[in-house]
Structure 1
Amino acid sequence: MNIQRDLKAIVPDETRMRSGEQYLDSICDGRNIFIHGKKYDSALRNPELNKTANLRAQIYDALKDPGRVKKGAIFDAEAGAWVSRLHTPPLRKEDWYDKLEILEDVFLDVRHLPSRVGDETIPAVWSMMDGLPFIRDRNPSFANNIERHMQNILWNDPYHVSGNADPKGNRSSNPEDREADLLLRVVKETDAGLIVRGAKYETGAAYANQAFVKPTVANWGGQELSPYAVGFLWNRFNDANVKIVCRDAYSRHDAADRPLSARADEVESMVIFDDALVPWEDVFFYNDTKLANFVRGSLHRYSMFMFMTRLYALGKLYAGVAFLNCDQNSGTKIPQVREKLAELISYKEMAHAFIVGAIETGSVSPAGYWMPNQPMMYSGRYLLCENLHKIIHITRELCGGQPPLTAGHETFFMEEVRDISRKYYSLSDGWDHERRHKLISLTNDLLNSEYSNYRLNFYMFAHSPPFAQKNAIFNSHDFASCSQLARVLADI
């Protein structure tokens, strides 16, 4: 793929980047969506899913507009068109810095911190590109499928998500020993493709274009072959044999009281495949536990970067909210408050340090990509997730007990209450009762809402549970230099 990195003005006739309207049209396809006790044939017909789909549409439009996102597009000479820079694999260090800058611009443009909008799931395909020689040796047709879908992502700009987690059942047993349809499996091979049955949890399935579906099983019990060892690209969410069962959305609030979550909630769904056909051209691996383990082991090689950019942005937001809450009443002059704010700043800077350090000490991957330093990325991911709850609690402490005790905007601004609100909440000309209520609303959404609790749980498990993250740190680290230092000092 011949990517030209000189930035020019985007010419509409020479772009393969979607508009928001094109994306929204693409998901009106007659799906079986279940949410809030009702069935819908389109995410746009449900008010909460519609919010999130429209947020993704805003991102599509923002990436196409250099006035909104400066580096959102890059020219692909092979395609003869502009493509999304978030979708292009990183061929040099600067590409990672560009992606970080793009995401920061996007967050500001859409006034939200979305976690699952495609850029963080497409890197799993880059990881498979690194493994193409191994995959081709196992099955050449699977390697060809991966290459073709890599090009499809770049040239057709789909909203791409991931299907990893599943209803686990008894984790101590092999997949074959669990209830038959609990984990996704192949039940039949046909000339047209594989017939699959089972369930997967996917964020965004109700409003995405495609998903990379794969197993989470880490221990196959020494098996070489297994119908559960299957990975594929799923792009037919409107299949009659597929049901999308969504969790309740946390966005059913007024934006005046919940400025983040009311705008959009990235809803997870349990996607049930009931004898659904996966065409052979969409299969990435099948009936090969070694190949499944290989893909699983390298899955987060690049997506960790996108994951950590969100934690970096969250660190900024918590520090900013805490600072404003303290500064409005001159609390920032108090040494003990500054000490707590310093902890929030340190978390944010730790995130930035891991990101920059991993880029600068990275290396060229087998596919020719610039791969961030893996032990550093794994360590950063774990430490940021491990300390997130502490950062949230420090922010709560700094913001005080008034936000969760304050009335919602409908009550706060009632005619009979407005003067009371003005009297007890106005601090200065710069911080009158109206501005303070806006800050309190954001503070509550970040710290005291359903959405805030969900987000903490999400970051704990989104990239695998803590024990698996620590195992990844161990497996990726070369202990040679550590051991050498210990041996020299011990004289052994």
Structure 2
Amino acid sequence: MSTGQTYLNRLKDGRNVWFHGSIVQDIAAHPAFAGTVASVARVLDLQDRPETKERLTFVTDNGFRANRAFQVPSEREHIFQRSDSFRLWSDATFGVMSRVAGFYRAQLTGWFIRRELIRSKQPYFPDKIQNYYTYLRDNDLLLTAAGHDPQIDRTKLASELGDLYTAVRILKETEDGIIVRGAKMIATGGPYMDEIMVSPHSPKLQEEQRYAVMFAIPVNHPGVHLICRDSFASEREEDYPLSAHYDEMDAILVFDDALIPWERVFIKDDPDAIWSIRSDQYVSAISLHESIVRLVSKLEFVTAVGNELASSIGIKKFTHVQEKLAELFFQLESIKALLISAEHNAELHTDGGWSPELRQLNTAKNLGNRYYPRAIEILQQLSGAGMLQVPSSIAELHGPLGAKLQTYYRGADRNAQERVKLLKLAWDLVGSQLGGRHELYERFYAGDPVRTYAAQYLEYDKKALSDRVG
């Protein structure tokens, strides 16, 4: 059985995925999810192909083949192997599916490598996270996460908002585990995943101990509901080539007094321990590595679309157009250079794992949340009203008015069919619901940009700079 088919079979597990007020009975067949599910299966099947198997997988210490996101980079060369694997997966979805490519699996690998970091505070953490890592690795399971509290009243602590379905917190403890109630947002790709990691994505205070809990669940865990946003998927593949395949659904998790077994409870009642492992620089570097590889893939795709838009209407000879195209190239090459620098400046950590240099990765991440919106703006400027001057369906080019449309919609260097397909693709990137979601995602997936910029300033080694003027 192929890796993709095995994945499809796993989806038939009774998960409580809510869409338009009812539970989705068959994720793989529902029109709001089917296109993306099929895309995930196709990407997973790359692990079976002779030409890509070695690039995407490695042999574990117990003889399994596992995705390279789970590979412990014990040698410098592993950094480049992991990078190649991330790039292959990202290119397979044009960089628009962020969580299938392996960010959270890479983060889990980092936690496994750094599992001894908080043993003094949480003595059971090392063994639990090792067992969980091994389980996901050997079964090739997909992982996402949910860590933000519901946006209710940011002037109050989670503990001050009352008991009615606010942030996830521990209600009580039993012999079998903890009982949790509340909500977490946002589980990107949650309906398609196998597992979800739940933990705060920002520091908790001591007054919020019951909210300082880190655990993992299978998506079909009893008492857990995934509340989906509206679908941005489309069944009109020709007219919405990205939306038809790559709507990475976002979901809110609601825990209805769910029992979390002790073996899945990694940390509880310890804000400091959670933040120590979540903010560890090695873990940040090994997981952020995947995000920057994906960003390169996505910017390359947007740049390719921009270049083709300009070619299709013969405007590449104009200086102001060249300036805009050059800006796309500048963005792409800047992020690529930072990625290459981070990889070639890889460092060996005391725990025995190599990691790319975090400083360059952070710079690329912080540039990315400004670059991508600007790249989309450039596509708008290159096309002008062109994306709005297309027939409602590509099929109309072969309908009663087809001969006329073939004349009026042709481009400077291509026929009407090719030009309209390009404009439909560009609109899916720029103006569709999926396009709007991606612009918002790239702005905020790493957190509030103001805070991430400030954090880079605070963490930057400024002594060498001071010495030059002191």
Q: For this structure pair, what is the TM-score category when the shorter chain's length is used for normalisation?
A: over 0.9
Q: 8 Å contact 2:3–2:47 — kept in the other structure? A: no
Which structure 2 residues correspond to residues 52-451 of structure 1 after superposition, within 5 A?
52-68=36-52, 71-76=55-60, 78-109=61-92, 113-117=96-100, 119-180=102-163, 181-201=165-185, 202-220=187-205, 222-223=206-207, 226-235=209-218, 237-298=219-280, 300-410=284-394, 412-427=396-411, 431-451=414-434
- Cα distance, 1:386 vs structure 2: 1.8
AA at the equivalent of 2:236: D
Using the TM superposition, name which of 83-92 and 204-213 deviates more: 83-92
Normalising to structure 2: TM-score of the pair?
0.93
Paired residues in the alignment total 466
Looking at structure 2, the residues matched to 410 and 438 of structure 1 have their Cα atoms a distance apart, in angstroms, of: 7
Looking at structure 2, the residues matched to 211 and 396 of structure 1 have their Cα atoms a distance apart, in angstroms, of: 36
Q: 8 Å contact 2:188–2:249 — kept in the other structure? A: yes
Q: 8 Å contact 1:68–1:109 — kept in the other structure? A: no
AA at the equivalent of 1:263: H
AA at the equivalent of 2:182: G
- Cα distance, 1:234 vs structure 2: 0.9
Looking at structure 2, the residues matched to 427 and 458 of structure 1 have their Cα atoms a distance apart, in angstroms, of: 33
Tell me the percent identity. 24
Deviations 1:412-431, CA, capped at 9 Å, x for gaps: 32522211211112246x61
Deviations 1:288-315, CA, capped at 9 Å, x for gaps: 1110221332363322121122221121
Q: 8 Å contact 1:69–1:105 — kept in the other structure? A: no
- Cα distance, 1:214 vs structure 2: 0.3
Distance 1:472 1:90, change over 3 A: farther
Using the TM superposition, name which of 162-171 and 316-325 deviates more: 162-171
Using the TM superposition, name which of 409-418 and 472-481 deviates more: 409-418
Looking at structure 2, the residues matched to 49 and 297 of structure 1 have their Cα atoms a distance apart, in angstroms, of: 33
Looking at structure 1, the residues matched to 202 and 59 of structure 2 have their Cα atoms a distance apart, in angstroms, of: 39
Q: 8 Å contact 2:37–2:192 — kept in the other structure? A: yes
AA at the equivalent of 1:51: G
1:43 aligns to what? 27
Looking at structure 1, the residues matched to 408 and 51 of structure 2 have their Cα atoms a distance apart, in angstroms, of: 42
Q: 8 Å contact 1:33–1:42 — kept in the other structure? A: no
Normalising to structure 1: TM-score of the pair?
0.89
Using the TM superposition, name which of 341-350 and 164-173 deviates more: 164-173
Residue segments in structure 1 that go unaligned for 5+ positions in a row: 1-11, 13-17, 488-492
SS in 2 for 1:233: strand
Q: CA RMSD in A?
A: 2.1
Q: 8 Å contact 1:337–1:398 — kept in the other structure? A: yes
Residue segments in structure 2 that go unaligned for 5+ positions in a row: none
- Cα distance, 1:23 vs structure 2: 0.8
SS in 1 for 2:258: strand
1:4 aligns to what? none
SS in 2 for 1:331: coil
- Cα distance, 1:130 vs structure 2: 4.5
SS in 2 for 1:34: strand
